[in-house]
Structure 1
């Protein structure tokens, strides 16, 4: 599990997040090459004593600096559109969970089960146990089976919220009166932390999200326990 306070991206725990990390590296390399070319051009222009007598009429240069940026934009746009399509594709989910944002906590409804719903509040600092993260731990974690497509239905009861888990590459707005959906697959067991990413009021910083990915047999035992309680 990546520490939430580390610099840069957290370790990818889903295929979508792996694609996002690859796209980030791809785009960063393009920006690096452009910056290098611009710096080289500026250095040459500042250090040379030669002048061009045809500086007022250079159609070739104008064609290059018009076509080259267009090609660069295509190189960046095509992988981006591919990832957007993958993030929007929802096919045959194994589990559907409805997440409702409140001021200031989350509630979860497992729609495949009749009586499985609960609220998830942040654990106060005084009640934390050794090893738990301050302002990130909750009293009821959302448990999901690993390596299974999970569909999230996300809405809000009062104001705008945003349900975000960085290590899973998920960030979806929770809007009152509207039901947004997203999907993800946790590729390995672990505990993944997130927070509301919309400034939703005074206690905006105190409505964390915790997902626990477990093997399917552990999830079945947990679901039976939740339905009994």
Structure 2
């Protein structure tokens, strides 16, 4: 079976989505003060070693503000690999604490995944993690039980998709994204596609203005687009 590649290609992330629902799911959640970064030239940033390092420094300085939510299957067809799960979601504890319930996370053993999902994670996560491992220290697998977990497909902040309330999902929980995930192949593209938000838009704005990244994008408040 041909391996489906998930490398976070900038252009693929900018493709408009369909079928993610038309209801504004955010209306029932507390989103005041949330912000995101709208880049105008993400390609240049991801190709320039100096700007990549600047992005790394920036994310490290605002790490406690970082909210990660990425519905992986909104960017690639993996129905066969998912098996009994409806979605594969990469997120961090800060997102679940704000929009879900950490007590609803039930550990999943890697060996109990379908062979297709194991193959998928081995091939793709190695491209996204700093160590090149599928599940390095700091990344764990869970099933989210109970009511749906608010999650972002790609391009929600661009208005090309709506958030979903995902049920029966396999969760890739990344405890500290800025330390575990690669900046150029993962974090910067996920910021560009709207899958990384920031809890305090004003604090992030001040930090962003002091970085070299300010010439390539702007910090915006989420409520201004929804």
The TM-score, its normalising length taken from structure 2, stands at 0.23
Larger helix share, 1 or 2: 2
The TM-score, its normalising length taken from structure 1, stands at 0.23
Larger strand share, 1 or 2: 1
Structure with more relative contact order (C-alpha pairs < 8 Å, separation 6 or more): 2
